């Protein structure tokens, strides 16, 4: 690479690493809980990979579910026009704006934090066009379906779930893992497997790998059945 080409590249902005994540958690007295499915990403390159796979445009508003301590939030702020972060944990939700102000002072005002359960939210401060979420396997499908139904402005996105769930979400008819999650997801979207994330980039490390599933919204299938009847 020539010196001029290297100089024309924008500088890579720092992201939260393992030391930063653990320091934040200690400051807040937070211990990741299985109940909320909290596994915090501690690797900046993984964050960049997730943001790239999500295909976020500079004019988009991203809905992030479960921002936690903000590692992915910073990456999304770098890529999008604005970010709406829905966090169920009040301690984490209260701290997130300060983290954004410290690490991305020029972009912090473009972050909107909503304290609440993603399964129950019915309105947001800004209309989102994309969804990015790191979801516990047991709520992945209902959360995605609720948000797609409630917010028709969502046109595409990327969810990170247990790898087995990712395979099921992206499965096509005739596949060995095609089943109920596949059918439900197909009502609103076309889903695709977008990669696998190893265990060692999380704190605490989960017992199995995670999978990335990208999706693009399409019109609901032409049928006289309702979604509830369509989805077993």
**Residue ranges of domains in the chain:** 13-230
pLDDT category of residue 2 using cuts at 50, 70 and 90: low
Pairing of strands 40-41, 202-203: antiparallel
- Which pLDDT does position 223 carry in this prediction? 57
**Residue 5, pLDDT score:** 47
Average pLDDT score over residue span 88-117 = 97
Q: Nearest-CA neighbor of 128 among 108, 109, 114?
A: 114
d(CA 219, CA 202): 35
Q: What is the pLDDT at residue 12?
A: 81
Predicted pLDDT of residue 230: 47
Q: What percent of the chain has pLDDT over 90?
A: 75
pTM of the predicted model, to two decimals?
0.89
CB distance 46 to 54 below 8 Å: no
The answer for residues whose C-beta is within 8 angstroms of residue 50's C-beta and 6 or more apart is 41, 72, 75, 132, 158, 160, 197, 212
In order, the DSSP letters of 77-133 are HHHSSEEEEEES-HHHHHHHHHHHHHH-TTTGGGEEEEES-TTT----SS--SEEEE
Lowest mean pLDDT, pick from 2-11, 35-44, 172-181: 2-11
Is pLDDT of 232 > 50? no
Q: Kindly state the greatest CA–CA separation across the chain.
A: 62
**pLDDT at residue 226 above 70?**
no
Strand-pair partners of 190:
216
Residue 33 has pLDDT above 80, yes or no: no
More confident call, 8 vs 127: 127
Q: Is the pLDDT of residue 49 over 90?
A: yes
Choose which CATH entry (3.40.50.970, 3.40.50.300, 3.40.50.150, 1.20.1070.10) describes domain 13-230. 3.40.50.150
Which residues are CB-neighbours of 208 under 8 A, at least 6 positions away?
A: 162, 163, 164, 199
């Amino acid at each position: 690479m020539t010196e001029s080409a290297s100089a024309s590249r924008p500088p890579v902005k720092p992201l939260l690493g393992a030391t930063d994540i653990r320091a934040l958690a200690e400051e807040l007295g937070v211990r990741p809980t299985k109940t909320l499915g909290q596994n915090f990403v501690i690797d900046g390159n993984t964050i960049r990979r997730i943001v790239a796979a999500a295909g976020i445009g500079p004019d988009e508003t991203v809905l992030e579910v479960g921002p936690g301590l903000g590692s992915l939030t910073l990456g999304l702020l770098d890529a999008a026009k604005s970010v709406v972060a829905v966090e169920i944990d009040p301690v984490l939700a209260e701290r997130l704006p300060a983290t954004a102000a410290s690490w991305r002072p020029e972009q912090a005002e473009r972050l909107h934090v909503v304290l609440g359960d993603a399964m129950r939210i019915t309105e947001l401060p800004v209309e989102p066009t994309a969804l990015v979420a790191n979801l516990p396997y047991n709520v992945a499908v209902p959360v995605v379906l609720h948000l797609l139904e409630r917010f028709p402005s969502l046109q595409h996105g990327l969810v990170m779930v247990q790898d087995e769930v990712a395979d099921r979400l992206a499965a096509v008819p005739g596949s060995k893992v095609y089943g109920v999650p596949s059918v439900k997801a197909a009502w609103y979207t076309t889903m695709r497997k977008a990669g696998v994330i190893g265990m060692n980039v999380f704190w605490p490390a989960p017992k199995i790998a995670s999978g990335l599933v990208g999706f693009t919204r399409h019109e609901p299938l032409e049928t006289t059945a309702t979604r509830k009847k369509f989805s077993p």
